[in-house]
Amino acid sequence: MGILRLLLSLSVVLEHLGASFQLIGGWRAVQVFYFISGFYMALILGGKYENKSYGTFLGNRLLRLFPIYYLILILLGVRWLTSYFNDVPCEFYFPHCGQIVWQRLSSLCFIIFTQIAVIGQDWLFFLKLDPSGTFHFAKDGLTEPFQAYEFNINPISWTLGLELTFYLMAPFLLKRSHRFLISVVFVSLACRLIGYFKLGLTGLTWHYRFFPFELAVFVSGSLCYRFYKSSLRSSFEKNKTSALALSILMIVATMTFAPLSTVTENSTLIYYLLAALAVPSLFHLSEKNKIDRIIGDLSYPIYMIHMPICSLGKRFWTSNPLILILLVVALAYLINQLISKPVDKLRESRIQKVRLYFWR
């Protein structure tokens, strides 16, 4: 599973770099990440967090995301401030609406809240600002003259808003029956189809950023884990060849999607169906593989740091995609060693303390 997660994160990096070589593309990678997130949440909530409190689960998820997020946030904030006070153009950050938000305190407070709490960063794609600094609903925030989403200090961190929304719901949602969860998937898909065909919600804003539409993907991943636990695991243990074949096919499809997509118009749908079959097989084969886990753990810091690092690299050093990717991977490994590992020990200690208390 770690290799797939690494390839997904690199797919996003390559798209944002505009490299000539592409994998599956950024938005497909993000949706597969949502699916994997649902799979893992069902796994841990039925495993090491089964008898733990809501606070323990949520606290550990925040400890997983926030230390790296805040590190990048501080560095980017310093970068923006130096550019602002020196009147030097920055690589990104609200190029045309930076002054507008200061005119209304409520808008400014909301922006600050989203950057600190992460929750709400995805909502900014559905908002626009008028000249007085007031927020309004936007059917397609990407095309508005005053785009609210450009206030996200790290342009990529809006996906964490969707993740956190799912984490808040998961302990309650994933305890429900198979039938209930399947109903949630169908309702979410129905809302997406109605939005697309009846309400004209066809822009990229609604494609993978609107949580009610994406809930189907998260929950489908959770249902996939349930199916793996009840049926697939025993099948894979009896016949590891099928698990290996699915895993190899998924990795190859991820790496060669760009040329293969010219073969059929339904390439994206086929890839998603393959992911639904292959994620359990990849998990089964790599569950106890430490090297695979180390590789997979690089995906989150790669995802979080790649836009600022690549932008700075292009401006001050080189535009060579390979060099920039190697730099991002190296920094991601360093961040994991210095931040993620100590934090993971803290997270594990919180689980152990709760476990000891529970058994008393």
Least confident of 99-108, 187-196, 273-282: 99-108
| Mean pLDDT of the region 1-28 | 91
The pLDDT, as a whole number, for residue 83 is 66
Which pair of structure tokens corresponds to residue 285?
């084969």
Q: What is the largest CA-CA distance in the chain?
A: 66
Which pair of structure tokens corresponds to residue 355?
């476990």
Instruction: Please report the sign of the dihedral spanned by the C-alpha atoms of residue 23, residue 24, residue 25, residue 29.
Output: negative
d(CA 68, CA 312): 19
Residue type, 57: F
DSSP code per residue over 180-217: HHHHHHHHHHHHHHHHHHTS---STHHHH--HHHHHHH
Contacts of 198 (CB under 8 A, 6+ apart): none
How far, in Å, are 155, 203, 247, 296, 320 from residue 27 at the CA level?
Answer: 14, 13, 21, 19, 23
* Percent of the chain clearing pLDDT 90 (strictly above): 54
d(CA 118, CA 113): 8
d(CA 30, CA 310): 19
| Mean pLDDT of the region 97-119 | 80
Per-residue pLDDT of 111-164, as tens digits, reads: 889 999 999 999 999 998 887 878 889 887 777 777 788 888 888 899 999 999
How far, in Å, are 54, 101, 107, 111, 259 from residue 135 at the CA level?
Answer: 33, 9, 7, 11, 42
Per-residue pLDDT of 187-233, as tens digits, reads: 999 999 999 999 988 888 898 999 999 999 999 999 999 999 998 88
Question: Residues of 38-55 as b/e, b for ≥16 C-beta within 10 angstroms?
Answer: bbbbbbbbeebbeebeee
Question: Across all residues in the chain, what is the average pLDDT?
Answer: 87
Q: How many other C-beta atoms can be found within 10 angstroms of the C-beta atom of residue 92?
A: 17
Q: Phi-psi region for residue 118, left (φ > 0), alpha (ψ -120 to 50) or beta?
A: left
- Listed as own residue / partner, the contacts of 96-103 with beta carbons closer than 8 Å and 24 or more positions apart are 96/145, 96/146, 97/129, 97/146, 97/147, 97/150, 97/151, 100/129, 100/131, 100/132, 100/133, 100/146, 101/129, 101/133, 101/151, 102/133, 103/132, 103/133
Phi and psi at 132, nearest 5°, equal: -90, -5
Q: Are 211 and 167 in contact (CB under 8 A)?
A: no
Q: For the chain, first and last CA: distance in Å?
A: 36
* Domain parsing of the chain, residue ranges: 2-90+155-359, 94-152
pLDDT for residue 89 is more than 60: no
d(CA 9, CA 219): 21
Which pair of structure tokens corresponds to residue 292?
């695979």
Per-residue pLDDT of 298-354, as tens digits, reads: 999 999 999 888 877 877 788 888 999 999 999 999 999 999 999 999 988 888 775
Contacts of 66 (CB under 8 A, 6+ apart): 118
Q: How many other C-beta atoms can be found within 10 angstroms of the C-beta atom of residue 124?
A: 23
d(CA 274, CA 221): 13
d(CA 173, CA 166): 9
pLDDT for residue 108 is more than 90: no
